[in-house]
Amino acid sequence: MLLLLPPSERKRAATTGPALDLSALSCPSLTAARAQVLAALEEASAASSAAQVLGTGPSLAAEVERNTRWRSEPALPVAQLYAGVLYDALDLPGLPRRAAARAATDVLVSSAAYGLLSPADAVPAYRLSMGTDLPGTGPLAPFWRAHLGPVLDDLAAVGGQVVVDARSSTYAAAWRPPRALAERVVALRVLRERDGRRTVVSHLAKHTRGLVARHLLVRRDRVPSDAASLAAAVAEAFPAELAPAAPGRPRTLDVVVRG
């Protein structure tokens, strides 16, 4: 099982510790692309147009300025870095030992600055969205798509494992599985059901995706290997319905929150 998560805008900043070591991060084939994005981010964050380019306001000025110090800022493991609704529900630092070991191999976070990150990767807090058109790289989603395709295609192909895609649409644009792998990819969609009517929700969706991800990591039964077994695993804890298959396209698993 490969569990793809979105990042969070909210991040915890380390106050002490070693600085970023790009060569030590997982997915080393992304090192050159990471260095290119970080250098471009540093330059953009130091410019007078930084707020406009990065889509930030005055309250985030300190976070933007921190982008210029990515080489020297203390780094924090990804398992501790991301905060916010999804990550509060997932609680990577609080996972039991066996679940934490599973997360170390099964979880990848999509990142506008680093492409992909595993829970053990240590990086400094940063401010950058995948929807940014960054001078020096251009729009980040197509930039990363060219680099993430070979990495994620290979990972998805290993052992025929199922890919649980919990990314938001902005980050999903950075990797779209090829037709040959699409049947192994299952996108999580959260629906609220009230008075017999279902609607797509945002804040609640993040919380629910975090809970679903945690359930998949802590459960002790056999790891799901395809869309059907994934749906069954999720249904142990949540009302879940697997949408019909469409040739050459990922499956959709609807997780229904009632009330």
> pLDDT value at position 195?
79
Domain count along the chain: 1
* Residue-level pLDDT at 58: 94
Instruction: Identify whether the C-beta of residue 134 lies closer than 8 Å to the C-beta of residue 53.
Output: yes
**pLDDT score for 113:** 98
Question: Over the stretch 196-253, which tens digit does the pLDDT of each residue have?
Answer: 788 887 778 999 999 999 999 999 988 999 999 999 999 999 999 999 988 889 999 9
Over the stretch 44-91, which tens digit does the pLDDT of each residue have? 999 999 999 999 999 999 999 999 999 999 999 999 999 999 999 999
Exposure class string for 5-20: b at 16+ Cβ within 10 A, else e: bbbbeebeebeeeeeb
Distance of CA 128 to the CA centre of its chain: 13
According to the model, what pLDDT value does residue 202 have? 74
> 50, exposed or middle or buried, with CB in 10 Å at 0-12, 13-18, 19+?
buried
- Domain of residue 77 covers 2-258
Average model confidence (pLDDT) for the chain? 95
Higher pLDDT, 94 or 245: 94
Asked if 4 contacts 108 with a C-beta cutoff of 8 angstroms, the reply is: yes
- State the pairing for strand pair 185-194/163-165: parallel
Give the tens place of pLDDT for each residue, 119-168. Answer: 999 999 999 999 999 999 999 999 999 999 999 999 988 877 899 999 99
Q: How confident is the model at residue 36 (pLDDT cuts 50, 70, 90)?
A: very high
Beta strands in the chain (DSSP E): 2-5, 76-77, 107-111, 115-117, 122-123, 133-134, 138-139, 163-165, 185-194, 197-200, 240-242, 251-258
Quote the CA–CA distance of 184 and 158 in Å, as a whole number. Answer: 11
By DSSP bridging, strand 107-111 and strand 197-200 are unpaired
Say what the pTM is: 0.94
Q: Are 204 and 257 in contact (CB under 8 A)?
A: yes
